């Protein structure tokens, strides 16, 4: 719609801070790691603690109030947004300054604003990134704090408060007029905002916003400051509606009495729709620039008074941290915020009860350690090709005993049509059938039963039973009664539960209940803890067994008695050996 002049009003300026999505689980507290300033150590030439904002956040985080996911991180203020207040000439002056003919890369204006002369000699792109960029992030945070205060009743920007900067000039470590910008965006974006109050309790006069709102009756300024220090801006004082000038070394009692009286008086005189609280901590005793004598407890009580006066009246309020030139001020600001929370003057239930967000496993860092010597040894063992277990008889006897080297035995072939499985006689009551193709095996174990080789007892035992082995595919092994391997395995394991003997069918992926440690010379057999006292694994694929001879095997038969009644003993095992076999070399384990 055309106005009275016939011209169409300019469209409202876009403000990303008012468009940004904010979660309910986030506190109305704004902070970014981009706030902190550091440029080649030159920031230390100024008494201002250029890293205090990050330390405030860390204190609140350590106290359990804030988490990384429950705060609001602002974006960098754009030039378009800054131009709502600042002139193009001023913005350009922050970029380049032509102090020498033909050379315009100097940063004279920024050096004056930051009060660090060597900055003038730095290339401007360095100054933009290391000094002005953090200021732009903090400025954006103040604009966003105005929006949040109107939405949620209160907000805190852990930064900002550049009250010495006006639309056309900066100074006093203030490069952008964040307070003026926040107020003007509130006027433009929120129709219900018609009046705003600035309560400026920094030790210095807030001459920047005072110049910006000199003739604006919508803005009421209460300024309490030390009259004997910077900036001594008499012109800007004309904009102050309630002026409270302090002398050097003002103490808690005098100061807090004045704060109560004048905050009450200002709110009674002017009923704002929004309060901007500039909470500088340079009033702290010992501050080299504030030159007042307010204790840490006095600073905390001051903040409490301001929030109580506004919150009890239902007036939205947002706080910016402004000045403070001692390292302990970060701790004091954090303690003050925690005090406001403990008193219930600031709260946000959704953020306090926000569930923890677990980092995805893929995001976890990977260790560069190889696990040490044991882990490397284990990996080395696992990386070797899997073969059937072998029994090295030479490793099982005492070094003092002489062992006759066993005859060589060709590898056993379990393939169909190659009935080369040999008959083996043993006096330890254990038999293992293995396939070098599949790794499957059948292990029949009985209690320890040793005989001296060549005795009648041995011969009687060896000829008492007979085992017949046919040429079977181990993977498809089936009994004469038609039972498959799984049924045999199930039956055998059921029997184990009821007897002291064990019958195991090993299918490559399970561990044998009895393991032969071929590396130990003196410990030949490991006892199985649950089922067997002795287990000896005989690997028919290997050629080292002393039991192997050029034996012509005619038949080995293994029989399993199928019964539904509990098994009370291990089935009898008969091993038949050709008369040509030589068992005299059998050693007792």
* Residues with catalytic roles: 164
Burial class (CB in 10 A: 0-12, 13-18, 19+), 246: buried
Q: Which two tokens stand for residue 134?
A: 């953090």
Q: Under a CB-based contact definition with an 8 Å cutoff, are residues 393 and 403 in contact? A: yes
- For residue 445, give every residue at least 6 positions away whose Cβ sits within 8 Å of its Cβ, in sequence order, or none: 429, 430, 501, 502, 503, 504, 513, 514, 531, 532, 534, 535, 570
- For residue 377, give every residue at least 6 positions away whose Cβ sits within 8 Å of its Cβ, in sequence order, or none: none
Q: What is the distance in angstroms between the CA of the first residue and the CA of the last residue of the chain? A: 107
Comparing CA positions, the residue from 100, 99, 174 lying closest to residue 142 is: 174
Strand partners, 442: 433, 505
- For residue 458, give every residue at least 6 positions away whose Cβ sits within 8 Å of its Cβ, in sequence order, or none: 427, 451, 452, 583
Q: Are strands 503-507 and 440-445 parallel, antiparallel or unpaired?
A: antiparallel
Q: Under a CB-based contact definition with an 8 Å cutoff, are residues 415 and 422 in contact? A: no
Q: Tell whether omega for the bond before 161 is within 30 degrees of 0, i.e. cis.
A: no
Residue located via tokens 């006897």: 397
CA separation for the pair 569, 51 (Å, rounded): 81
- For residue 419, give every residue at least 6 positions away whose Cβ sits within 8 Å of its Cβ, in sequence order, or none: 470, 471
* Cα torsion through 518, 521, 525, 529, rounded to 10: -90
Q: Under a CB-based contact definition with an 8 Å cutoff, are residues 161 and 177 in contact? A: no
- Tell me the residue ranges of DSSP E strands in 435-539: 440-445, 503-507
Q: Under a CB-based contact definition with an 8 Å cutoff, are residues 551 and 422 in contact? A: yes
Which helix (H) or strand (E) segment holds residue 221: the answer is strand 219-226
- What single-letter DSSP state applies at residue 236? G
What are φ and ψ of residue 245, in 5° steps?
A: -100, 130
Q: Under a CB-based contact definition with an 8 Å cutoff, are residues 323 and 282 in contact? A: yes
Secondary structure tally for the chain: helices H, strands E: 17, 10
How many angstroms separate the Cα of 560 from the Cα of each of 395, 468, 481, 504, 569?
A: 33, 12, 10, 13, 12
Which DSSP string do the residues of 63-99 spell out, in sequence order?
TTS--TTSSBPPPPPPHHHHTTTS-HHHHHHTT-B--
Q: Under a CB-based contact definition with an 8 Å cutoff, are residues 35 and 158 in contact? A: yes
């Amino acid at each position: 719609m055309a106005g009275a002049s016939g011209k169409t009003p300019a469209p409202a300026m876009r403000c990303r801070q008012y468009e940004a999505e904010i979660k309910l689980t986030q506190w109305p507290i704004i902070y970014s790691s981009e706030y902190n300033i550091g440029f080649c150590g030159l920031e230390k030439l100024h008494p201002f603690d250029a890293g205090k904002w990050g330390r405030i956040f860390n204190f609140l985080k350590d106290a359990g109030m804030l988490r990384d996911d429950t705060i609001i991180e602002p974006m960098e203020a754009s030039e378009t947004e800054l131009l709502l207040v600042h002139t193009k000439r001023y913005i350009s002056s922050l970029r380049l300054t032509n102090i020498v003919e033909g050379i315009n890369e100097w940063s004279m204006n920024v050096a004056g604003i930051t009060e660090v002369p060597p900055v003038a000699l730095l290339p401007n792109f360095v100054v933009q990134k290391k000094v002005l960029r953090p200021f732009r992030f903090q400025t954006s945070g103040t604009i966003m704090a105005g929006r949040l205060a109107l939405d949620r009743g209160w907000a805190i920007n852990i930064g900002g408060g550049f009250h010495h900067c006006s639309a056309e000039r900066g100074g006093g470590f203030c490069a952008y007029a964040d307070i003026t910008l926040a107020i003007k965006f509130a006027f433009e974006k929120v129709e219900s905002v018609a009046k705003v109050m600035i309560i400026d309790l920094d030790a210095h006069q807030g001459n920047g916003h005072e110049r910006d709102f000199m003739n604006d009756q919508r803005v009421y300024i209460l300024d309490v400051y030390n009259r004997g220090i910077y900036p001594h801006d008499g012109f800007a004082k004309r904009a102050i509606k309630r002026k409270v000038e302090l002398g050097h070394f003002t103490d808690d009692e005098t100061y807090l009495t004045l704060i109560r009286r004048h905050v009450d008086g200002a709110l009674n005189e002017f009923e704002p729709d929004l309060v901007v609280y500039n909470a500088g901590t340079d009033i702290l005793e010992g501050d080299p620039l504030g030159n007042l004598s307010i204790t840490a407890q006095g600073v905390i009580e001051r903040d409490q008074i301001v929030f109580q006066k506004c919150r009890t009246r239902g007036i939205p309020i947002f706080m910016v941290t402004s000045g403070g030139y001692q390292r302990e001020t970060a701790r004091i600001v954090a303690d003050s915020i925690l005090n406001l929370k403990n008193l219930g003057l600031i709260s946000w239930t959704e953020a306090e009860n926000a569930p923890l967000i677990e980092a995805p496993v893929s995001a976890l860092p990977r260790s560069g350690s190889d696990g040490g010597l044991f882990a490397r040894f284990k990996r080395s063992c696992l990386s070797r090709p899997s073969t059937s277990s072998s029994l090295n008889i030479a490793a099982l006897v005492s070094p003092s005993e002489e062992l006759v080297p066993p005859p060589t035995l060709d590898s056993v072939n379990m393939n169909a049509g190659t009935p080369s499985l040999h008959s083996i006689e043993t006096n330890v009551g254990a038999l293992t059938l293995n396939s070098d193709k599949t790794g499957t095996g059948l292990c029949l174990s009985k209690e320890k039963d040793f005989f001296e080789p060549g005795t009648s007892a041995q011969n009687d035992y060896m000829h008492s039973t007979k085992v017949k082995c046919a040429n079977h595919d181990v993977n498809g092994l089936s009994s004469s009664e038609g039972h498959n391997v799984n049924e045999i395995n199930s039956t055998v394991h059921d029997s184990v539960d009821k007897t002291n003997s064990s019958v195991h069918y090993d299918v490559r992926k399970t561990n044998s209940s009895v393991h032969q440690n071929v590396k130990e010379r003196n410990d030949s057999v490991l006892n199985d803890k649950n089922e067997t006292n002795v287990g000896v694994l005989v690997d028919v694929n290997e050629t080292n067994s002393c039991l192997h001879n050029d034996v012509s095997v005619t038949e080995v038969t293994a029989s399993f008695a199928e019964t539904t009644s509990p098994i009370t003993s291990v089935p009898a095992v008969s091993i038949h050996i050709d008369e040509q076999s030589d068992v005299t070399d059998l050693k007792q384990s």
